[in-house]
Amino acid sequence: MADGGAVRRVEASRPTTYWAPGEHILWRYRENAGERFHIVRPVTVVRDDDQLLAVWMAPGTQCVRPVLADGTPLHAEPLESRYTKPRTVRLDRWFGAGVLKLAHPGQPWSVWLFWEPGWRFKNWYVNLEEPLVRWAGGVDSEDYFLDICVYPDRSWGWRDEDEFAQAQRDGLMNPRLAQRVREAGLSAVEAIRTWRAPFSDGWQHWRPDPSWSVPSLPENWDRTPAYVTS
């Protein structure tokens, strides 16, 4: 982003049409110091309306993920140099159980649901991010490092605070943006403490339609879209 603190404003736009359950779209994240997409995940629409976008990322889905230029996985690089070394992207597959992602329009986080094998519910995961921007083929955002994990007993805890701090030291977000992200996290915490949507909506009991196919990754996954505007 240009100044490390500007959140794009077209995210509050209202689409004239919504995707139908079973449609395939892309859920993408831009890199934090530029405009390239470095995380791309094909997903299946579960619900899409003026209140909620819910999508399913199935096991085995081919995705795009960032790695260091020499192929080193990001988590294997020491935190002090993780965000300063050159990067590229790699095609990979999502292994293990799938992920259900929930996003309310204009909200600066999405909530992901994880299961263990056999559909034993594991946790909710609050991913703090730029509010989703819609385009014809999916939604785009920028990840803001800081996250919250919420467990079935309603306990919760901050995640990746070390990465959030390192991103600020490395200039990937300025103090103004960092403060907004922390405030967004506190708003999410209030929703957790009062057990509001989507935590109270019973999504942990949801199951995907067995007839759904696993969406494929299109060749032009990195295209620059025309965003939906009001």
Torsion angle, alpha carbons of 130, 142, 21, 61, to 10: -160
Neighbour count for residue 213 (Cβ, 10 Å): 9
According to DSSP, residue 85 is labeled S
Q: What was the pLDDT predicted at 140? A: 97
How high does pLDDT run on average in the chain? 92
| Distance from the Cα of residue 111 to its chain's centroid | 8
Q: What is the CATH number of domain 9-205?
A: 2.40.380.10
Q: Where are the domains positioned within the chain?
A: 9-205
**Averaged pLDDT, 29-52:** 95
Q: What was the pLDDT predicted at 8? A: 37
Q: What was the pLDDT predicted at 162? A: 97
pLDDT at 16 over 60: yes
- Is residue 106 within 8 Å of 130, Cβ to Cβ? no
Question: What's the angle, vertex CA 26, arms to CA 20 and CA 32, rounded to 5?
Answer: 140
pLDDT at 100 over 80: yes
**Cα 128 to Cα 189: distance, rounded to the nearest angstrom:** 11
* Residue where the block lists tokens 């999405």: 110
Q: What was the pLDDT predicted at 224? A: 86
pLDDT at 14 over 80: no
- pTM here is 0.91
Determine if the peptide bond prior to 59 is cis (ω within 30°).
no
pLDDT at 5 over 70: no
Q: What was the pLDDT predicted at 105? A: 95
- pLDDT tens column, 151-190: 999 999 999 999 999 999 999 999 999 999 999 999 999 9
